[in-house]
Amino acid sequence: MGDILRIEHLKTFFKTQNGVIKAVNDVSFSVAEGEVLGLVGESGSGKSMTCRSIMRLIGAPGKIVGGKIFFHDEDILTWPESRLVDYRGAQVSMILQEPMTALNPVHTVGTQIVETIIQHEHVSQNEAEGTAVELMRKVGIPAPEHRLREYPHQFSGGMRQRVMIAIALACHPKVLLADEPTTALDVTIQDQIIRLVQSLQSEMGMSVVWVTHDLGVVAQLCDRVAVMYAGRIMELADVIELFENSHHPYTHGLMESLPAGGSRTENKLIPIPGQPPDLLNLPEGCPFMVRCRYADDCCSTADIPLRQVKPGHYSACVRFEELWN
C-alpha cells in the first residue's frame, strides 16, 4: 500500500508588523492509501494550517515558504492555479470545523451540494440534484428530497456537519481532510459523525487526515498519529504504539491530562504546566523545552529533527534514548 500524500519539510509563515509567525515549521509526514492519520495537538499547534497548506488555501499575509506536498508523487506546489480546481474537491477535499460559517446562509444546502458536483463532474442540473439527494441520504439526513431545498439555519449543528460531509464527498475524493469536524457538537452527535466517517471511509476506500485535540477520538478512529506542537511534529507512530510506548514528553503530558476511570482521588488529571510558546518568538531547540520536566541543556540545540525510535515510530526528543530505552 503506497503513499497517496507525502509532506516534506513544509513551512507556512505569516508576516506581521511584529515579525514572522511560523505557523507550520518544517513538518513532514505521509498518508497511505486507505489510511486514517490523526493530527493531534493543542489549539494553535498548526494542525488546521497544515491542512489548509495541503489544499493550497493560504491567503495573505500567509505564505508557504518551503517544503513539498506530493500527491501521487507530484508536488502540487509546482502546479498552476488552473490545475488546482480539479485537485480541490475531486482529489482532496476538506471538512471545516464550523459548518455554520462554512455554509453560505443565502443558498439552500441543495444548491451548495449541486454546485460542487457540477464544478467537477460533467453532468446536468437534474443529474446533479439526484446525486445530491443520494449523498444526503448516505450521510444520514432524513427526507433528503425535501431538505435539499432548505437553508443552513433550518438544520441542527449535527445535520449541518452532515451537509458539510456530503459536500466534501460529492466528487469521491481520494483524500479527506477533516478539520476538527465534531468540535462544536455534543458527545452523542460527535460519536454519530465519527461512525459515519468510519463507514464512508471503509466503503469508499479513501484516506483521511483527522485533525483533533481529542486523544479519545484518535484511539477510536486512527491508524497512525502525528502529534503537533508549536508548528512542528513532536512524535509520529502507530496509534497503539503511541498510547503504549510514547517517546516524547509532550505526548506523555497529553496522556496524563486525559480523564481516566476509577475514583477521583486515584486518577487525578496532571495538567501540562505553562503555556505554548509565542510563535513570533520561538525558543532555540525544542519548542516544548520551557514546559518539559525532562528539559536539559542539550534541548536548546538549534535543530531537533524527528528521529526514528523504532521502525515506524519517530520522536523529536533528543533525550528519548536515555529516558525510555
pLDDT in tens, 58-72: 988 999 999 999 999
Structural domain boundaries, residue 223:
3-99+175-229
Q: Is residue 287 part of a domain?
A: no
Q: Is the pLDDT of residue 10 over 70?
A: yes
Stretch 268-295: mean pLDDT: 86
Contact criterion met (CB below 8 Å) for 197 and 178: yes
Residue 312's pLDDT is 93
Q: What percentage of the chain has pLDDT greater than the value 90? A: 54
| pLDDT tens-digit readout, 192-239 | 888 888 888 888 889 999 999 888 889 889 999 999 999 999 999 999
Sign of the alpha-carbon dihedral angle for 193, 198, 201, 203: negative
Q: Is residue 180 part of a domain?
A: yes
Q: How many domains does the chain have?
A: 1
Residue 320: what are its φ and ψ, rounded to 5°? -60, -35
Whichever domain contains 225, its CATH number is 3.40.50.300
| pLDDT tens-digit readout, 234-266 | 999 999 999 999 999 999 888 887 776 544 445
Q: Is residue 169 part of a domain?
A: no
55, three cell numbers: 489544499
Q: Is residue 278 part of a domain?
A: no
Q: Is residue 275 part of a domain?
A: no
Model confidence, pTM: 0.90
Task: pLDDT band for 275, please (50, 70, 90 cuts).
Answer: confident
Residue 188's pLDDT is 82
Q: Is residue 189 part of a domain?
A: yes
The whole-chain average pLDDT of the chain stands at: 89
d(CA 99, CA 269): 32
Which CA distances in Å does 65 have to 23, 31, 79, 86, 181?
Answer: 11, 22, 15, 23, 28
d(CA 303, CA 290): 16
Tell how strand 224-229 and strand 36-40 pair up: parallel
3-state secondary structure the chain: CCEEEEEEEEEEEEEECCEEEEEEEEEEEEEECCCEEEEECCCCCCHHHHHHHHCCCCCCCEEEEEEEEEECCEEHHHCCHHHHHHHHHHHEEEECCCHHHHCCCCCCHHHHHHHHHHHHCCCCHHHHHHHHHHHHHHCCCCCHHHHCCCCHHHCCHHHHHHHHHHHHHCCCCCEEEEECCCCCCCHHHHHHHHHHHHHHHHHHCCEEEEEECCHHHHHHHCCEEEEEECCEEEEEEEHHHHHHHCCCHHHHHHHHCCCCCCCCCCCCCCCCCCCCCCCCCCCCCCCCHHHCCCCCHHHHCCCCCCEEEECCEEECCCCHHHHHC
d(CA 226, CA 314): 9
Count CA within 13 A, CB hemisphere, residue 70: 15
Closest CA to 41 of 295, 313, 287: 287
The cell 445530491 sits on which residue? 132
Q: Is residue 109 part of a domain?
A: no
d(CA 121, CA 316): 43
The cell 458536483 sits on which residue? 117
Q: Is residue 130 part of a domain?
A: no
Q: Is the pLDDT of residue 15 over 50?
A: yes
